[in-house]
Amino acid sequence: MINNYLKIAWRILVRQKLFSLINIFGLVIGMAACLLIVQYISFELSYDKFHQNAGNVYRIKHQSYSQGNLIENLPKTYSAVGPALKAEFPEVKEETRVSKLSGQVSTQQPGGAVIAFNEQHLYAVEASFLKVFSFPMVEGTASALNNPNTVVITQSTAKKYFPDQDAIGKTLRIQQQISGTDITATVTGVCKDVPANSHLQFDFLVSQVSQDMQAGDWVYPDFYTYVQLSPNTDHQAFEAKLPSFIKKHSTGGDKIKNSSFTLGKTNVANIQFTLQPLKDIHLYSNLTDEISTAGNGNMVWYLGLIAVLILVIAYINYVNLSTAKIIERAKEVGIRKVLGSQRLQLIIQFLFESMLLNIISIAIAVFVVILAMPWFSTLCGVQMRFTLWKDYTFLFGFMSCLVLGILLSAFYPALILSNYKPVQILKGKFQNTSQSLSLRKSLVVFQFAATIAFMIGTLVVYRQVNYMKNANKGMDMKQTLIVVAPQIVRANDADAFNFMHRDSVFQTEILRNPRVQSVTSSSSIPGETINYIMSYTRPMQDKGIRLPTLEIGSKFLDQFKVKTIAGDNFSTAPQSGKSLMMLNEAAVVSLGFKNAQDAVGKIIQTKNGRGRIFENEIVGVIKNFHQTSLKEGFTPTVFRLIDPSSVTHYELKINSADMPATLAQINKTYKSVFSEAAFDYFFLDEFFDQQYKTEQHFGKVFSLFSGFAVFVACLGLFGLTLITITQRIKEIGIRKILGASISNILLLIAKDFVGLILIANAIALPLAYWGGHQWLQNYKFRVDFTVWFFILPMLSVFIIALTTISFQAVKAAVANPVKSLRNE
């Protein structure tokens, strides 16, 4: 019996080649798109779940408030917090602290040659790091970092520094210019390369077991701190104890109260610690100075909605075409019933047809997904493989959806046909019911409403990303080459003096290159968070405020064409006995000045870690510019003249002609001055735009699958038009004989569909506006909704739909009416 059902289902599938292909093609696109998006969502949700203790690990989030306003929202805190929590709370099973570094790593090869690279993925960690986190060791054990001056590296790093050698026991010299780190560390462990779905991305783990680190301090919130709670601990109850913990440590000789950032009395309520679950860090952590680039949970779920809707649109096509083909199957069903077929048998036959078509579609879709996965991974900007088949939860859910799709797409046509009496069917009295037509029209409206919403969403995303990339950032970054300053340590006066001399020589020599128009230096570049935070207090005020401090060369503002709106620039300011500083407009507001002119000439106090107070004179105020992305507001920033020991980058304004020759000459000059340093460079505009990488990938993926949704909807419209014309072919022939023109026939066929599309627009436009408006609220600087956001998608859908309808309608209208009426 089953064999008979399958044979008939296959014959019908083959006999109706065009409609079978339309259904299969639509379902393949819908299923493949759904599988690709779900794989991406699965990857994003899998971040950090591979750790054995992932469910019990939390990061301490540090928030600071000033006059009720949030001024710092950090993923790191004081170095003393971790040990204090472990010592005072039995719920804390383990703690570990991480400090992110960057610097020059070098090693001597067996032949005597020294290789050196500037490294960005370098963490200073405690020995407990390898206990809290489950990074598999290839060589060595979890105790590899128990001793000072030891380092664990990844397999790729081992091959990079020690090709064809055993890395264990070898030494690496690690220099970190800003912190003054200069250690020769022994490799005591090699771990597997860090998985792509880890928010901790490192190449080196350097032991951090100095006496200062062990004691900890309550001065600067510079350490990413993780705690592993004991199993079955209520983390919310534990978090409720943190305010009293802060209060306890706000009194005493070296506690929070006397931190260098306060310069006065501290209100304990201004500091707040919260627990951030490890598994939420990647998608739900919009904090300043994240340890790695974070994802966006909202975008992930937006894509999930697209996946569901594309699959629904594909099945809507199937249901629509199946119900529209009911008339053509009516005589077949009538004859079957006359020959004794029961209603249940007819329903089973339709189910087998639907099942066969769905099985063919899912097989092709999986094949397409496997082929497309490398390309899709590149499009998404992540490293992932098709692993959903390993997830039993997904398999159960997907198979349930598949079965539901088979049942829904087969049951309705089967119930309609099997409900009619065979006499009615064979006399030709069968016709589509009003319920069938209403369902089909409703499904078409849903299809095109979703399609129009997708198109509007695509346009909003594209415009916002394009706006952020091309908006006026308040500074000129064009043709700016960034050369990374030597990461060699300048820890003492001799080192600093030596570098000061070489810094001057380099900037002088580089200007001899005719393709270099100007050069300056800074402690941080546009596109990265300023990590140098200092506390500033106006005289006679009680409290200080922590502000990012950017050290710049005297030509920095002129080279980047940053406007001075009050006072003088560093290059024109008169010298005085005091340290000079400038503010941006946002910092003027933060420090409580009436306006920019009011701030000029005022004195601002700072205090170092030893408690010594320094006075700084404000010589000028500059117009706000975007130090970081347009997702955030302008950062209140203090500008000071750079000390050569703080230089991290050189900014070169260059002529872009003959770039290879220009770079070769710059490299030659650099190596002649800094012979022991690695030469690294990049272009500033490309670096700045990396901040929008998540939005750019999201925009590409959103656009791609929106295009798929439009295509699948039009594919269904094509099938419905073809069926409608086939069912009305005699009517069209009679109308032509009676004098109807091609335009009359076209209008006859198109008017019903155009009406449905108008209804779809009425539904989609307010929903798309609401969704787009909500998404744009995530950006401090954003585009405004304009009427073109609605007009362009509406026109596009109408043009595409009318083109699809016209193709078949014109073909029917120009056909010889005699052929359609010959059997009458």
The CA-based angle 448-298-714, given to 5 degrees, is: 15
What whole-number percentage of the chain has pLDDT above 90?
26
Query: CB–CB of 613/606 below 8 Å?
Result: yes
334 Cβ neighbours under 8 A, 6+ residues apart: 420, 422, 425, 426, 430
| Higher pLDDT pick, 347 / 582 | 582
Query: CB–CB of 636/471 below 8 Å?
Result: no
Residue 254: what pLDDT? 47
- Polymer length of the chain: 824
The CA-based angle 665-666-670, given to 5 degrees, is: 120
Tokens read off for 763: 């539904």
pLDDT tens per residue, range 516-536: 999 999 999 998 888 888 888
* Residues 188-215: b if buried by 16+ CB within 10 A, e if exposed: bbbbeebeebbbbbbbbbbbbbeeebee
Q: What is the dihedral of CA 329, 332, 338, 341, to 10 degrees?
A: -80
Tokens read off for 616: 């700084």
Which whole number is the average pLDDT over 73-82?
A: 89
Residue 331: what pLDDT? 63
pLDDT at 402 over 90: no
pLDDT at 823 over 70: no
pLDDT tens per residue, range 610-668: 566 778 889 999 999 999 888 888 889 999 998 877 888 999 999 878 888 899 999 99
* Residue with token string 């397999």: 155
pLDDT tens per residue, range 433-480: 555 567 677 878 888 888 888 888 888 888 998 898 888 899 999 999
Residue 630: what pLDDT? 87
Rounded distance between C-alpha atoms, residue 499 and residue 488, angstroms: 9
Rounded distance between C-alpha atoms, residue 792 and residue 729, angstroms: 34
Reported as a pLDDT band with limits 50, 70 and 90, residue 230 is: very high
pLDDT tens per residue, range 46-65: 899 999 999 999 999 998 87
Rounded distance between C-alpha atoms, residue 153 and residue 809, angstroms: 68
pLDDT at 721 over 50: yes
Handedness of CA 190, 196, 202, 205 (dihedral sign): negative
Nearest to 481 by CA among 517, 430, 505, 439: 517
Residue 172: what pLDDT? 92
Instruction: For residue 478, count other CB atoms closer than 10 A to its CB.
Output: 11
Task: State the amino acid at position 703 in one-letter form.
Answer: S
Residue 732: what pLDDT? 76
pLDDT at 325 over 80: no
Residue 109: what pLDDT? 82
Strands 69-74 and 57-66: antiparallel
| Higher pLDDT pick, 476 / 399 | 476
Nearest to 247 by CA among 221, 229, 228, 273: 273
Nearest to 256 by CA among 220, 306, 228: 220
Q: What is the dihedral of CA 116, 117, 123, 128, to 10 degrees?
A: -40
Which whole number is the average pLDDT over 663-690?
A: 90
Element (H, E) at 661: helix 659-673
Nearest to 252 by CA among 225, 223, 224, 217: 217
665 Cβ neighbours under 8 A, 6+ residues apart: 513, 515
pLDDT at 228 over 90: yes
Reported as a pLDDT band with limits 50, 70 and 90, residue 192 is: very high
Q: What is the mean pLDDT of the chain?
A: 82
Please, which contacts does 426-434 make with residues 24 or more away whose CB atoms are closer than 8 Å? 426/331, 426/334, 426/335, 426/338, 430/327, 430/330, 430/334, 431/327, 432/323, 432/324, 432/326, 432/327
Q: Helix %, strand %, coil % for the chain, to 5?
A: 50, 20, 30
Question: Which residue spans within 579-612 are E strands per DSSP?
Answer: 579-584, 603-607
pLDDT tens per residue, range 722-761: 777 766 777 777 777 777 777 777 787 777 778 888 888 8
Nearest to 104 by CA among 487, 387, 398, 596: 487
| Higher pLDDT pick, 700 / 262 | 700
Q: Which region, left, alpha or beta, applies to residue 564 given φ > 0 means left and ψ of -120 to 50 means alpha? A: beta
Strands 114-125 and 204-207: parallel
Residue 259: what pLDDT? 42
Which stretch, 184-198, 209-223, 400-414, has highest mean pLDDT?
A: 184-198
Tokens read off for 272: 């707040």
